[in-house]
């Protein structure tokens, strides 16, 4: 009889401890979620609209184009070609000869620091701030 009561007491104590640790898990999760949301909002607020897109291919700058002028630009190298469109202050890739077409799926970029990358073609398109050469922007200082 005493063994049954001991087992019941152990089970009750384990249940209480489990409930208490569960409350702390929920509290910790809520704190982490709120912190992540605050950081997201802070970083989103700090991003300013860019002025230019800098295009690098094989590690070399091959062009810099203002976002306020619509245009269509073709970039071709040994690996293949990409078509960059600038329209309504946003840049995006519409055509690519690479196998995965990830660069086409990256969407439209217009805020400083946003990028479109085509790894198979070694093409990097970066939105920059006021400097046409890409210099400093809202992220780098």
For 18-64, write each residue's pLDDT tens digit: 555 677 778 888 889 999 988 888 776 666 788 999 999 988 999 99
The burial of 55, by beta-carbon neighbours within 10 Å (0-12 exposed, 13-18 middle, 19 or more buried), is given as buried
Q: What local confidence, expressed as pLDDT, does residue 137 receive?
A: 43
Average pLDDT over residues 131-135: 53
Round the average pLDDT of the chain to a whole number and report it. Answer: 81
- CA dihedral over 61, 75, 100, 103, signed as positive or negative: positive
Average pLDDT over residues 5-25: 63
pTM of the model: 0.63
**Pairwise CA distance, residues 76 & 95, whole Å:** 12
Query: Are the beta carbons of 125 and 50 closer than 8 angstroms?
Result: no
């Amino acid at each position: 009889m005493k063994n049954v009561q001991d087992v019941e007491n152990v089970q009750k104590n384990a249940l209480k401890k489990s409930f208490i640790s569960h409350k702390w898990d929920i509290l910790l999760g809520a704190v982490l979620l709120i912190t992540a949301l605050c950081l997201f909002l802070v970083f989103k607020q700090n991003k300013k609209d860019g002025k230019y897109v800098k295009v690098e291919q094989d590690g070399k700058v091959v062009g810099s184009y203002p976002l306020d002028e619509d245009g269509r630009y073709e970039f071709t190298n040994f690996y293949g070609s990409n078509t960059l469109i600038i329209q309504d202050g946003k840049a995006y890739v519409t055509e690519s000869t690479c196998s995965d077409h990830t660069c086409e799926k990256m969407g439209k970029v217009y805020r400083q620091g946003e990028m479109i990358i085509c790894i198979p073609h070694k093409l990097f398109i970066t939105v920059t701030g006021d400097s046409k050469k890409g210099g400093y922007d809202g992220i780098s200082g």
